[in-house]
Chain A
């Protein structure tokens, strides 16, 4: 299937989901006016992908420094889909990346980590000046 590539805007994140490489990346900030519309294609892609992807390990790279409350729900729902895949035995690893001095981004990551049961969810501190 085709990759999903959405360029970042002032208030929506960069999203690059690669089907062949089994790599999903989401980075930037998220506070769109209409969260449901923005994330609809993301959910659709992920749903289709998770039905087809084989035994390869799926790597999910997240680096979001801010998201509003409705994005929090959308992101949780995306993670929940991944969590279900993991519960079914698929190898899914999430890397939650945050800048060293950014304790809010760390807390956001911890919030997700605590709420997802089967997912391998790792918090990765980046040195300053690194894009990762």
Chain B
């Protein structure tokens, strides 16, 4: 087990990952993680614009896990369960990247992938227009947010949103995302 820890650490470093969390997400944790990340980036003399962009993607992805992950921990009569997922931040060359992974229901996969493909095919102007339209319209019935998160991330990203999915069992997929900033 201990040898595995070293391998894991080296493996993450080789990938350029500076920060990686797997476990239950809470709002407090997201705030702390975000704060630490911003401090670290400022120590690295990153521009304030870059810091906000990376922070923004981290918050959107983390809150997606917080609201939508299908992997739950605990929860009883009085308390809502915690939702589980993973989030990592790294840097390769001049690019920061943010990775997230969590379980989704199998039937959500197609809609998500289609939506991401659509956003990836849009230029900045088109994304801005879609953002504006969706913001005015309001959220869909299943959304705890405003349905704007992916558009927001697309606008801040320096390249297309990469996603992949893996079957975990009949009802679930592990859905992962990579966003470069």
A residues neighboring B (CB under 8 Å): 10-11, 31-33, 35, 65-66, 68-70, 72-73, 76, 80, 99, 101-104, 111, 114-115
* In the complex, residue of chain B having the shortest beta-carbon distance to the beta carbon of A102: B48
B residues neighboring A (CB under 8 Å): 27, 30-31, 35, 47-49, 52-53, 55-56, 59-60, 63, 66, 128, 131-132, 135-136, 138-139, 144-146, 148-149, 151-152
Residue in contact with A102 in the complex, picked from B49, B55, B60, B144, CB distance below 8 Å: B49
Given contacts A10-B31, A31-B63, A101-B48, contact A69 B145 (CB under 8 A): yes
CB distance A11 to B49 under 8 Å?
A: no
| Tally of A-B Cβ pairs under 8 angstroms | 70
CB distance B60 to A103 under 8 Å?
A: no
Smallest beta-carbon distance B85→chain A, Å: 15
CB distance A72 to B139 under 8 Å?
A: no
Top-8 shortest CB links A-B = A73-B146, A70-B145, A69-B148, A33-B27, A69-B149, A104-B52, A69-B152, A10-B31
Given contacts A69-B60, A69-B149, A72-B152, contact A115 B135 (CB under 8 A): yes
